[in-house]
Structure 1
C-alpha cells in the first residue's frame, strides 16, 4: 500500500510564511533576548529580572521587555501553525501571506516592546498582527467546515 501527501498549488507560500516565523523566533531568542540578557547581567536559568532589578536598571527592564515579546510570540505559535496549515488546505496563498504578515508584525511588536515602554508593543505591530491572526482563524474554521461538508 502506497500513500502520499499531495500539496495544493501555491503551497510554497505557506512554506515561506512558516519559515519566516522560524526566522523571527531565532532573531528574538538569539539577538534580541540574548543581547539584552548580556547587557542586563541576568544569569541563566533566571527567566526574568526581578521587579527590584528592573526598577533599578534600564538594562534589566529592557531584558524583561525583550523576554516578554519573545514569550508572547511563542504563546501564539500553536495557534498560528494550526490555523495556517488548516487554511492552506483550501487557500494556500492566503495562508502563506497571512502567516508571513503575522511574522512581520512580530518584528514590529518586538521593536516596539524593547523601547522600554511596553505600550509601544501595540502601536508598532501588536494590532497589525491581529488582522492576519483572525484571518487565519476564520480561514481555518471555514476550511474545516468545508472539508466536513464535502466529505459527508
Structure 2
C-alpha cells in the first residue's frame, strides 16, 4: 500500500490559523453566555430567559442577546468553513484573511448585541462579517467555476 502524499500551498498555514481563531471566538461567546446566565439566574437546561423575566431585567435581556449571538455564530460556522476551504483551493491567503476579518466582525457583533439592544449587533460587526461572508461566497464560486472550466 502506497502512502498518500498531499502537498499544500504555504498559504494553508494562514488558513489554519484563521480557522483556529473561530474556536477562540466561540469560546469567548460561550463564556459571555455563561456570565450573563449566572447574573440573570437562568437555570439549566433553559436556553433563553422567558418574556416575564426580561421585563424590567436588563441582564436577562443581555443573556438572551448573548445566547442568540453565540447561536447565530454556530449557525454560520459550517458555511464559513466550507467556503474558506473551497476558496483556499485557489486563494489560501485570501481565504485566511476573509475568515480572520469575519472573526473580528463576529467579536464586534457579539459585543454590540450583548449591550441588550439587538440593533447594535449590526453597527460595525454585522457589516464586517457580512462583507467577509459575501467575499467568500464570491471567491468560492469563482474557484468552483474555474475547477469546472479548466481542462
TM-score by length of 2: 0.96
Per the TM alignment, residue 56 of structure 1 is displaced from its structure 2 partner at its CA by 3.4
Per the TM alignment, residue 52 of structure 1 is displaced from its structure 2 partner at its CA by 1.1
* More displaced 10-residue stretch of structure 1: 52-61 or 134-143: 52-61
Counterpart of 1:57 in structure 2 is 57
What RMSD, in angstroms, separates the aligned Cα atoms of the two structures? 1.0
Counterpart of 1:86 in structure 2 is 86
Deviations 1:100-129 (A, max 9, x none): 100000000000001111100000311111
- Segments of 5+ residues of structure 2 without an aligned counterpart are none
Structure 1 residue runs of 4+, over 2 Å off? none
Do the aligned residues in 2 keep the contact of 1:11 with 1:92 (CA within 8 Å)?
yes
Counterpart of 2:9 in structure 1 is 8
Helix, strand or coil at the partner of 1:56: coil
Distance 1:81 1:47 in 2: 26
Distance 1:119 1:46 in 2: 24
Counterpart of 2:135 in structure 1 is 135
TM-score by length of 1: 0.95
Do the aligned residues in 2 keep the contact of 1:111 with 1:124 (CA within 8 Å)?
no
Per the TM alignment, residue 131 of structure 1 is displaced from its structure 2 partner at its CA by 0.8
Superposed counterparts of 1:1-150, under 5 Å: 1-29=2-30, 31-150=31-150
Per the TM alignment, residue 8 of structure 1 is displaced from its structure 2 partner at its CA by 1.6
- Segments of 5+ residues of structure 1 without an aligned counterpart are none
Do the aligned residues in 2 keep the contact of 1:109 with 1:122 (CA within 8 Å)?
yes
* More displaced 10-residue stretch of structure 1: 99-108 or 7-16: 7-16
Distance 1:22 1:136 in 2: 19
